[in-house]
Structure 1
Amino acid sequence: MSVERTKAQRLARLAAQVDWSKVIDPYTGERLGPELLTGLWAADRLTAGRTCEILHYTANGDGSSVGIPAAEILPILVGAARDPDVTVRFDILRTITDIADTGNTAPTAKVAPILEGRWRPTVDPAWPPAWERAADGLLPLLDDDDSLLRIAAVDALAQSAAHADSLIPRFLTLFVNEPDLWLAERLVRGVGELARHATQRREEALAWLRLRLTVVETGAEPDLEEDPDAWFAWFEEIHHDVRLPAAEALSRALAQWPE
């Protein structure tokens, strides 16, 4: 079977999972269809990027609410994020993150005084269970070779309230072995986000964040000229200074609960 035929069959299976009657532009009422999959998997990055923007807008509108299309297109987004042939995987993960973040915050979001009693953000009831089912599909991306994809996966999964207790130990383990400071900082912030929703692992996460407020000593720096091997061993040791993101994450986690 040819590669193109295999791809076509896979996209057809994804398309069949969607109730396209619910995938409608939130403002124009235009109904969208399976051609979106062709666009998202396009080799042309501009086409794929534009399709991702359409899906983002269709599901999340202006970013204040999670619409009916979100739960329908989520399997498509997760499938595309996991496929190395897709050229905009980072953008897709950012889209998932934005929708999930809105899903977590919209129910308690404050509205402008002029809108009180007239309008408030909404989350389609189908979204939370859909996100709970789909989040596991992003776990393999935490080990992706591309650090940008790992960062985007961390950000997305940090919004998975239903999986907070199982994700916290995973994030802590990843932090220990992560050489990239930027990603280490995202993991710290991710732990803070998950701590807002965790029950069994909340105190563990808070204690870990408090520990990150101090710099872990790695010993005196060896002289490079006198002992190059010792210097390189010292340099390669994981010793991230993540005090600022830890403080931000801890503040955000504690703001969720009176302590």
Structure 2
Amino acid sequence: MRGPGSGDAERAADDLLNNLYHQGGGICSASPAALPFLPRLAATPDVPSRRSLLQLVSRLVSEVGQVAEKWVDPGWPSACERALPEVLALLDAPEPEIRPAAADVIGSCRSPGELTLPALLRHWEAEDDPTTRLDLILALGRAALQEPSGGHGAVTRDLLRELLDASEA
């Protein structure tokens, strides 16, 4: 995935997804072991498959919410918790294609809103890329539902109501 050719890097990311994600439901034991490396690679500017790596993480994180607990490797929650700071840091990436992918991962994770909402709100205020702002709105909406949401939950719900009201006007 670090190779010089973007085609090879994309194929490697697809192969990795096939090894970590069981289509039809499940997070295998290799997923928690691989997870810490994916945001690190995505944070490396010369890696051509950065966005694909974040999409892979998003697919895994989303899958956890779709399957029965018995199909999720027991090491997944702690691996996800350890990877979260690195994914949050990708909201600061200078490349506009990385920030929305990071927002998608954060919005899909089961981490309590009190851990994710402060960063998402801060980036909402600073972001000027329309695509990233849309992904931040979606991530904010999903993260506000993750309890405990702390004091930022009410702020986020108010923001989302304002945005909905403004869109209806």
State the TM-score, normalizing by the size of structure 1: 0.60
Kindly indicate whether residue 45 of structure 2 is the aligned counterpart of residue 45 of structure 1.
no
The equivalent position to 1:169 in structure 2, one of 118, 123, 131, is 118
Partner of 1:139: 88
The equivalent position to 1:208 in structure 2, one of 145, 155, 159, is 159
Contiguous gaps of at least 5 residues in structure 2: none
Q: Provide the C-alpha distance between the structure 2 equivalents of 1:127 and 1:206, rounded to a whole number of angstroms.
A: 29
Q: Is the 8 A contact 1:132 1:160 kept in 2?
A: no
Identical positions, percent:
24
Matched to 2:110, the amino acid is A
Partner of 1:129: 78
Structure with bigger helix share is 2
Matched to 1:76, the amino acid is F
Q: Provide the C-alpha distance between the structure 1 equivalents of 2:134 and 2:110, rounded to a whole number of angstroms.
A: 20
Q: Is the 8 A contact 1:63 1:98 kept in 2?
A: no
Contiguous gaps of at least 5 residues in structure 1: 1-39, 109-120, 216-242, 245-259
Q: Provide the C-alpha distance between the structure 2 equivalents of 1:173 and 1:75, rounded to a whole number of angstroms.
A: 24
Q: Deviations over 1:138-173 (max 9, x none)?
A: 222111111110111111111232242132122122
Matched to 1:129, the amino acid is S
Partner of 2:19: 58
Matched to 1:213, the amino acid is L
Matched to 2:90, the amino acid is L
Q: Is the 8 A contact 1:82 1:141 kept in 2?
A: yes
Going from structure 1 to structure 2, the CA distance change for 1:211 and 1:140 (only over 3 Å counts) comes to same
Matched to 2:87, the amino acid is L
Partner of 1:149: 98
Q: What are the within-5 Å matches in structure 2 for residues 92-103 of structure 1?
A: 92-103=53-64
Q: Is the 8 A contact 2:61 2:108 kept in 1?
A: yes
Match of 1:142, SS state, is helix
Q: How many residues align?
A: 166
CA displacement at 1:129 relative to structure 2: 0.9
State the TM-score, normalizing by the size of structure 2: 0.89
CA displacement at 1:183 relative to structure 2: 1.2
The equivalent position to 1:77 in structure 2, one of 22, 32, 38, is 38
Match of 1:185, SS state, is helix
Which of 1 and 2 has greater Rg? 1
Q: What are the within-5 Å matches in structure 2 for residues 235-250 of structure 1?
A: 243=167
